[in-house]
Structure 1
Amino acid sequence: MKGTLWLAWRQQRALAGCAAAVLLAAVALAAYFRAGMLDDLHSGVFDHCDPGPLYCSRPQDGLPQFLDVEPLKLLGALNMALPALVGMFWGAPLLGRDRELGTHRMVLSQGVGRAQWFASRFALAALGTVVLSGSLALLFRWWWEPAVNRSYGVFWYEATALTGSGPSLVAAALFGLSVGTLAGLLTRRVLSAAALTLLVTGAVAVLVQWTHRARLLVPPQRYVSAGWRPKEPMGDKWSTGHYGLITGSGRRDSVLECPYPSGRELRECMTGNGYVSRYYEANPAGDYWAFQWADTALLGGLALVLVLVTVLLLRRRV
């Protein structure tokens, strides 16, 4: 390792060390709490529980019964915040610190081109970001696996699981890094770049959560049951909250037209109003990967665009 890459490592090794320390601490805590989760599952107290959206009840008093998944959700929350943290503490100083101190002029005066100066810095930061985010995503998945899609655990569509795991986390972290890098180039101040990065990554995170709830990128499926027969169980599906009735002509009406779960009242109401079937809309558990790849494409594409903009602005800004 020599030249600009060696200089980049010298400047980023403290951040790399912090990232390694965070990862090691997360691994140790995950191993400890996952072992406790497995002990609870092997004790048999959850053997009577069925998978599904309803919570598991204790046989003796009917109170809800859950695994201790709060530490797991805290890891998911950390993963959700990772893009902002990477952007603020790794991306913003990447170009912003040299721009603020003016030390980039000395480097560029040694016969180093702007593209080489930027590429060595960003490549090293991107590698560290991929390793950190990918490791945390895999760690969450490993910890989550015993309680995945269980009434006493964590369902796939909960924000900490859907956003805090999988390849979309890597794309989101790279997006945060690219936002911070561009912000540092534009503002010439590390603190200003960090604040701008927090604002942008926070806004995009809210937008991504909205696309999930609106099913904008991954449309739900419609599950239809003929007549007044019981609807297909929700199970581990993610309901949109849209339930309704279908007439013989195919018109869909609100479930409030016949607000009865079953029985004679429902049959009489459907017959009297010409309804021939009922339906609900939901995403099956298999759509977890559809959400993951949609988010990966969206955030990865945005990261690539921001990197290209940074490269184009280097000649004018540095």
Structure 2
Amino acid sequence: MIWLNWRQFRLQALVAAIALALIAVYLLYLGGDIRDGYDAYRSRCGDPGDCAQARSQFQSAYQNTLLFLAAGLGLIPVVIGVFWGAPLVARELETGTHRLVWNQSVARHRWLLGRMAFVGLVAMVLTGLASLLLTWAASPYDEVTGDRFGTVEFGARDIAPIGHAVLAFTLGTVIGLLVRRTLPAMAVTGVVFLVLQFAVPNLVRPHLMPSEKATLPMTAETINRARNLGSITGAPAIGGLEVPGSPDAWISDVSPMRTADGRTLGETTFNACLNTPPKTGARGTFGDAAVCLSKLDLHVDVQYQPSDRYWAFQSGETALYVALSGVLIAFGLRRVRRA
């Protein structure tokens, strides 16, 4: 069985090895470049004003590249499910070659487990190594930006991609077993897993653990450390805040700026500070606007997940994907006896 699996899978394994080597070369280069940029950022981080500007420049230099790479890594499980999982059994059933094995001494469930274990292990190793390389390359950037909980970034760091790969491969295999045609199975696998990749981060992940709540006073320093101020509608919004004591926290909800009595700050007052603040010569990302708003005794209410829960979320989501894979494997083993 092992030799047969290798013979059938060796071309895909070779392509995967070449792709991983190319990914490794680029990420090793990128990781070195990011570390050089990080050293330059630290050398300019003298006072809060300079530090905020240096951080913004460091972030903008690598943000798009790392976001693109994280999205690309998120597609690796899709490719595994579509091109490795879906044809694994569907092609055998479609061409009738499964009868050759089933007429031998190998039981159907052992045949299916053997095929899935061999290819599934390669899928886990490939995805895990790619994730390890990207996590290493992006670690200085993640330290500065504190965005490890980002929707795209979270699924491309550490162990979560391994769970994604396991589920994608298992899903593709079981769909192939049900559909029994290679091309339809590949199409269905791609669509279903892409839906899962959208649904889990947005609908499931925020509820894996209950959120903490906090009220953040809008001092000039706090505003200058934010990533954006204002919105296209003119609402008194602020984004990219940090929770004191938990700078890498995942902030899942931020209220509009509110006055001391709890009312939302009026758009006229907010826009006056944002667009035509009194000149004070203040430094920082938002300068005079931050000083103007800080004098209004404002605050925002936030819901967040503390940064020390990061690994709990990584483990929880990975366990969820592995558990779903286990259910699919059990279903597939039951189904193959009647195929």
TM over 0.5: yes
Alpha carbons of structure 1 residues 209 and 65: separation in structure 2 relative to 1, 3 Å: closer
Aligned partner (choices 68, 77, 95) of residue 83 of structure 1: 77
Alpha carbons of structure 1 residues 81 and 227: separation in structure 2 relative to 1, 3 Å: closer
Q: Which moved more, 1:91-100 or 1:111-120?
A: 111-120
Kept in 1: contact 2:260–2:297 (CA 8 A): no
| Letter in structure 2 aligned against 1:156 | R
Alpha carbons of structure 1 residues 16 and 207: separation in structure 2 relative to 1, 3 Å: same
State the 1:291 CA deviation.
2.1
CA RMSD of aligned residues (A): 3.3
After superposition, residues 302-317 of structure 1 pair within 5 angstroms as 302-317=324-339
| 2:106 is aligned with 1:112 | yes
Q: Deviations over 1:84-129 (max 9, x none)?
A: 1111011011101111100011121122210221121111011101
- TM-score of the superposition, structure 2-length normalised? 0.75
Report how many residues are paired. Answer: 291
| 1:272 alignment partner in structure 2 | none
| 2:254 is aligned with 1:242 | yes
Q: Distance in 2 between matches of 1:64 and 1:143?
A: 14
Query: Structure 2, unaligned stretches of length 5 or more?
Result: 223-240, 271-292
Q: Distance in 2 between matches of 1:29 and 1:257?
A: 49
Structure number with the higher helix fraction is 2
After superposition, residues 293-304 of structure 1 pair within 5 angstroms as 293-304=315-326
Kept in 2: contact 1:37–1:67 (CA 8 A): no
State the 1:47 CA deviation.
3.2
Q: Distance in 1 between matches of 2:266 and 2:211?
A: 23
Alpha carbons of structure 1 residues 312 and 65: separation in structure 2 relative to 1, 3 Å: closer
Q: Distance in 2 between matches of 1:47 and 1:294?
A: 38
Kept in 2: contact 1:168–1:295 (CA 8 A): yes
Kept in 1: contact 2:37–2:58 (CA 8 A): no
Q: Distance in 2 between matches of 1:300 and 1:170?
A: 9
Q: Which moved more, 1:124-133 or 1:238-247?
A: 238-247
Q: Distance in 2 between matches of 1:121 and 1:286?
A: 39
Query: Structure 1, unaligned stretches of length 5 or more?
Result: 268-276
State the 1:241 CA deviation.
3.0
| 1:273 alignment partner in structure 2 | none
Kept in 2: contact 1:242–1:280 (CA 8 A): yes
Aligned partner (choices 177, 187, 195) of residue 185 of structure 1: 177
Alpha carbons of structure 1 residues 49 and 113: separation in structure 2 relative to 1, 3 Å: same
Q: Distance in 1 between matches of 2:141 and 2:217?
A: 34
| Letter in structure 2 aligned against 1:223 | A
